[in-house]
Amino acid sequence: MTASVPPAVSADNPLRDVSELPFRLPPFADITAEHCREALLAGMAEQRAEVAAIAGSDEPPTFDNTVVALERSGELLGRAWSVFGNLTSSVSTPRLREIEREVAPLEAAHSDAIHLDPALFARIDAVHGARHDAGLDDEAVRLVERYHLDFVLAGAQLDEAGRARLTELNQELSTLSTTFGQNLQLATEAAAVRVAARDELDGLSEEEIAAAAAAAADRGVEGYVIALLLPSGQPVLAKLRNRELRRRVFEASLSRASAGEHDNGPVAVRIARLRAERARLLGFDTHADLVLADSTARTTAEVDAMLASMVPASVANADAEAEVLREAAARDGVELAAWDWAFYSEQVRAERYAVDTAALRPYFELDRVLVDGVFHAAELLYGYRFTPRPDLRGYHPDVRVWEVSDAAGDAVGLYLGDFFAREGKRGGAWMSSFVRQSRLLGTAPVVVNNLNVSRAPAGQPTLLTLDEVNTLFHEFGHALHGLSSTVTYPRFSGTAVPRDFVEFPSQVNEMWALWPEVLAHYARHVETGEPLAADVVRAIDAAQLWGEGFATLEYLAATLLDQAWHRITPDTVIEDPIAFERQALADAGVASELVPPRYRTTYFQHVFAGGYSAGYYSYIWSEVLDADTVEWFKENGGLRRENGDAFRTKLLAVGGSVDPLAAFRAVRGRDADPGPLLRRRGLVPA
């Protein structure tokens, strides 16, 4: 890599310098798409010059002049990417998508130019070889080891021809992943189901009907619109009494991005084949083997063993649930179909356990769940307090900002919440960072949670489903991981842990949603203020296992589909991606006409346009740790500051600076026991 003078950033570009707002919050009101583009291009050039200086140094390689210098490099680029990546996910526009398509291959080339620089790797390799004799502390030693592994897995040990081919592969993959994500967003918006008459929406609440009317108005069409969420299952399927409309919604969901100008089938095939070629180039049999080399699972054999152990019981449980649902549907003269499952499952839940999930929504008003539930649990456990900052603006009017302080009153960082669905926002729910905590850089965390909750009509409260409540607690668990970070090096900050560990803290945080002390604090009727009745709470607890057969099978089907796509070789011929999917599910023993995968190939954003390729197993792998940790909390008195402080300091705060399973053992006192997970999902008798 040769040094060059990076292009200057315009003086009026708000991204040029570190933000002067509290905690370096980006000045969103001043940032345009063109500012992002300029800062990204200049930022890549600036970091290339910085890295060239490191690689070309005449000084002997040391931890400080090589690894720490790399940690400090790319400040402008990191600032620009944190803003741009969030904008393209949350407030996408045609211009932002155009810039995304332009810079994706450039960013891939930029990353390769760094990771495939022989002179730079030689310096890292030298520091790595001397790491135990250089007087480094444990976090510094781990940083050296992480950099070395990052570079090796990125192809640093390839010859010149191999590096050239890898660069070509990475650039095309970057472009294809961007195409997949943009296709899916546009196809999902186009697949929204239009409804002409109000009576077709029978079963939905007044607020949901009003939201469907508002969605139609936003699109400039008459009647009502049911927008689609990312997974196969759509919440309205549990409520709509009109069976034909249930079928339309279900089929619209499952057929997304599978035909026409936004067909993701050929894109997925090409991505999988290129990933397979890249893995082979790097010395691995498959892309899955490459991914597992940097995980807590370590090998595909470990993943296969875990998944295989769960398939028979989950299929049996789903089949048993199906028999119950067939009986319920038969009372209406209906032969059970996949689009009927959620509707009759809710009927059975109400009959068996006296739980009407629709009737719960008035007890789950968004702001109350957030402030009196999510924030309250965080204060009880960790001493965190959240103060609204209406003077600070987000990137969209929906976004709200809170300042976070600890039990001593000291500042921690900022939390942003963006909870409503809208056009231009990708589906699903997620957490990301605008600023990562680092003692080296003197930065405090600025994190954001995104959900896709239907907005209530003006003047009315937004009510959540029980699933949405759990999702809010889950994503806030990721936010806590970022907010609690106390590491020195940004490479380790917050959620910078292996993919199959990152979901663990967030899944632990879900436990507080139904914890009696927390639930009683937020679950109050939006109109009367009455608390959720104790018998209803008991019924919810009793109903926990109902539906686990379906939930586990749809998840395992998606996980095994991900593995199938990423176990192919470069020579595998796939003419029909849907046929490949069908065969993969059958071979894995999870094919079901009634229970589709949680994500089918053409809208499997996690693995084709996200960071979960060959890693969707991570959720259930992490759930082993999560379920066992829940037992630890219960054994030690539950919602106590002592427990929260232990979990925060030993696990959340250390991020990726220690081995993740060692961090788990520091809390639990031993390796994880899979028993609690198996019992939670009904895979073994309680």
Q: Cα(606)–Cα(545) distance, rounded to whole angstroms?
A: 26
- Backbone φ and ψ for 332, nearest 5 degrees, come out as -100, 10
**Residue type at 563 in one-letter notation:** Q
Q: How far apart are the first and last CA of the chain?
A: 60
Q: Cα(172)–Cα(427) distance, rounded to whole angstroms?
A: 24
Instruction: Single out the residue of 651, 388, 629, 372 nearest to residue 510, CA to CA.
Output: 629
| Residue 323: exposure state from Cβ atoms within 10 A (0-12, 13-18, ≥19) | exposed
**Residue type at 658 in one-letter notation:** V
**Residue type at 597 in one-letter notation:** P
Long-range contact pairs involving 90-94 (C-beta distance under 8 Å, separation at least 24): 90/395, 90/396, 90/418, 90/424, 90/425, 90/426, 90/450, 91/395, 91/396, 91/424, 91/425, 92/185, 92/424, 92/425, 92/426, 93/33, 93/424
CB 509 within 8 A of CB 449: no
Count helices and strands (H / E) in the chain.
27, 7
DSSP state of 324: H
Contacts of 85 (CB under 8 A, 6+ apart): 432
Q: Which two tokens stand for residue 547?
A: 């539906």
Strand order in the sheet with 446-453: 385-388, 400-405, 411-420, 446-453, 430-435
Count CA within 13 A, CB hemisphere, residue 292.
21
Q: Cα(96)–Cα(586) distance, rounded to whole angstroms?
A: 40
CB 227 within 8 A of CB 187: no
CB 644 within 8 A of CB 406: no
CB 416 within 8 A of CB 680: no
Contacts of 297 (CB under 8 A, 6+ apart): 303, 306, 500, 617, 621
CB 108 within 8 A of CB 114: no
**Residue type at 297 in one-letter notation:** A
Q: Which two tokens stand for residue 238?
A: 């549990």
Angle ∠(284,579,594) on CA atoms, nearest 5: 110
CB 233 within 8 A of CB 240: no
Please tell me which residue in 475, 503, 510, 623 is annotated as part of the active site.
475
Neighbouring-strand partners of residue 386: 404
Q: Cα(17)–Cα(34) distance, rounded to whole angstroms?
A: 16
Q: Which two tokens stand for residue 344?
A: 């009759």
**Residue type at 307 in one-letter notation:** L
Annotation marks residue 160 as catalytic: no
Query: Which runs of consecutive H residues, i.e. helices, occur in 282-365?
Result: 287-292, 300-330, 341-353, 357-360
Q: Cα(173)–Cα(494) distance, rounded to whole angstroms?
A: 27
Taking only Cα atoms into account, the Rg of the chain, rounded to an integer number of angstroms, comes to: 25
**446-453 and 411-420 as β-strands: parallel, antiparallel, unpaired?**
parallel
Instruction: Single out the residue of 263, 107, 181 nearest to residue 612, CA to CA.
Output: 181
- Residues classed as catalytic: 475
